[in-house]
Amino acid sequence: MQTANRFLTTAQQYAPLVQQIAPMFQNLPAMWRLYKGFQSLPTSGAAGEQVVQQTRLQGIRRR
């Protein structure tokens, strides 16, 4: 009986922690999709500027 009481006491202590963490775990798939989306964006800086210049050249060639 004493073991069961200790278990219930411990469970009650961790219940608020689990309630706070649960939404974060539920949002993990959406956060992963955002991460993957940002990975596919061109980088800012020299490589990003090169992509912009190539896009501008393609636009000029089409005219």
- Give the Cα separation of 44 and 40 in Å (integer): 12
pLDDT tens-place string over residues 15-53: 999 999 999 999 999 999 999 988 888 766 655 567 667
Contact 51, 42 (CB under 8 A): yes
- Give the Cα separation of 57 and 30 in Å (integer): 36
Tell me which of 54 and 37 has the higher pLDDT: 37
